[in-house]
Amino acid sequence: MVEFFIRMESDIINSETMVLNLKKGNFEGMRRELAKFDWQLILKGLTVDMQWKTFKDCMDELQKLFIPVWQKNKSGKVVLPWITREIRDSIKAKDDAYKLARKSSIPEDWEEFRDQQRRTKGLIRKGKIDYERKLAGNIKTDCKSFYRYVKRKRLVKTNVGPLQSETGELIMGNKDMADQLNNYFCSVFTKEDINNLPEIAGDRGSKELEELSEIQVSREVVLGKLMDALVIIFQNSLDSGVVPEDWRVANVTPLFKKGGREKTGNYRPVSLTSVVGKLVESVIKDGIAAHLESGEIIGQSQHGFTKGKSCLTNLIEFFEDVTGSVDRGEPVDVVYLDF
């Protein structure tokens, strides 16, 4: 008999992650505490970066006070979202009925177990149908939950990589693959030439630029108890032309398009940016859109990226023009361009 010992050291990986338990958060208490803050006094005289840091620190403290955390176990156990308390109670009653019938071996107890089993299956089936109908009905307002559910139903789940370097060598490590994708995304990123911008034709000029530079952030565009602080920070950012670093940082996820998964060119970057930064962008976008609409700078033929219009309205208008010309006996020529 050959006997040997292997001595090795291994790091214990904690499979539990601390996450916020938003369902049990005391948001009413957080609102009452927020009402006590005098943001005009707190943020007075600070730069945009310091205003944002102060606001974020205050929100972190309120989060610790009013929103509990719980350990999320990454054991791989699937939690079905349509399992309600009623269904869980029915499942428990079914298990209890099974234990009783197995212990007593009485036909009446077995019949009670089978009845409870049928009721439980019916509740689960109905709960799943109601949940899917709710997802489909709320797809316009909550498309994220819908696509998350569809993604979970996929049978095949694939990851990124392994990738192939320019020399043909396979890259396996997560950090090495991230560096490879980052280098590729940076190489194809377009840097705009801001020194060669088109000039505004006609008498449009300083007046329009002055109007755009006077975009004001009001309490009406920023709702909720946080609006006083955010209005001050947003307005200071627009006036000074400074954007806090947190708003400029994005989490980039490579999304596979088609072809071989080992080629970096077959992935495109999807950026997850700051929600607060998106809100500022929305304020600026609304101001620019209002200026363009009031000045009639955008023609009626523009359908893309225009409020109330889409590819569908463009096709309908194009179809109407073509069919009208054909009905009148006029020739129609169509030129398709792909830039």
| Structure token digits, residue 144 | 């994220």
- Quote the pLDDT of residue 186: 82
Q: Which residues contact 14 (CB under 8 A, 6 or more apart)?
A: none
The Cβ-side half-sphere exposure at 324, using a 13 Å CA radius, reads: 6
- Quote the pLDDT of residue 295: 67
What whole-number distance in Å separates Cα of residue 58 and Cα of residue 39?
Answer: 11
| Structure token digits, residue 200 | 């505004």
- Quote the pLDDT of residue 24: 85
- Quote the pLDDT of residue 118: 92
Q: Kindly give the confidence (pLDDT) of every residue in the chain, 339 residues in length, as a single tens digit, with 9 standing for 90 and above.
A: 445 444 444 444 445 677 888 888 888 888 888 888 888 898 888 999 999 999 999 889 988 888 888 876 555 556 788 888 899 999 999 999 999 988 888 888 899 999 999 999 999 999 999 998 988 888 888 888 888 888 777 655 567 778 877 777 888 888 888 888 888 888 877 777 767 765 655 444 445 445 545 555 555 444 555 678 888 888 888 888 888 888 888 888 888 888 888 888 888 888 888 888 888 888 888 877 777 777 667 777 788 777 778 888 888 988 898 999 989 988 888 888 876
Task: Sort residue 190 into left (φ over 0), alpha (ψ -120 to 50) or beta.
Answer: beta
Q: Model-level pTM?
A: 0.59
- At position 193, the amino acid (one-letter code) is D
| Structure token digits, residue 245 | 């670093």
Report yes or no: 92 and 81 within 8 Å, Cβ to Cβ. no
C-alpha R_g of the chain: 30
